[in-house]
Copies of this chain bind each other. A is one copy, B any other.
């Protein structure tokens, strides 16, 4: 469900939330009923500061994107070297984060992240997406998502460790794996591609085909989540092969207002193999943001 707006009021309320609106309070209660064991899993990859460390070689990310940087303004090392404690002996460590989440870590795309022409989802003018934030379709509109999660473990279904780079998941295969996707669900698509890091990760990426995107859109899902970087597949140049008509971001995000959650870590979830579960996403309330780094949770 989309949380209700609070009274911060910089940006006017408007009808911009897309299919998350399908998540009525009743749907939230139905989603919560999918928790059977109470086990909670994080579906997030780690955010690993890249500055003077081998981090870039240890965490999956798209080539050429600026990796997260993580710093401390004061830390235990400083005290070991003689830094004075606060007052009578209090010691603290404070950190700072620089993150450009698209393509570098687990994140959620806002409805203002991608479009064609001069209109965002639902006709909002794209000129409202400015350097200082988007006044339409920003990530702060999401609030929080509590929905039924449905796992599509595609390589598991096919008896593979992971899908090959050029594999495109067709609608028929989704239907075969789980025909029971319902309005307001969050399908979680496992490709297994993060397991190829760092060996062949940059050779391309498997992902949904346009038919699969349309199949999901037709079922009015609330969001689509995957462990790949772009929901659709990528070629070796890290670009989609589809034209505009068939682009997965345009089909889902732009035309249907379906939020996307990308670069998940799904291995523990796949090993547990629940029929369904509670999917929770609480993106940072970045006003006018095109997305947010995210720690999605699965409650089994």
Contacts and interface: CB of A to CB of B under 8 A. Distances in A.
Contact of A64 (B50, B81, B281): B50
Contacts of A268: 4, 6
A174 interface: no
Contacts of A64: 50, 54, 56-57
Interface string A39-51: 1111011111111
Interface residues of A, number: 124
Interface string A91-125: 11111111111100010000011111110100001
A180 interface: no
Given A76-B126, A134-B93, A66 B38 contact: no
Contacts of A76: 77, 81, 112, 120, 125-130, 134
A58 interface: yes
A251 interface: no
A69 B81 CA distance: 22
Contacts of A129: 72, 75-77, 93
Given A6-B267, A70-B133, A290-B93, A40 B80 contact: no
Interface string A274-300: 000010111111111111011111010
A111 B283 CA distance: 22
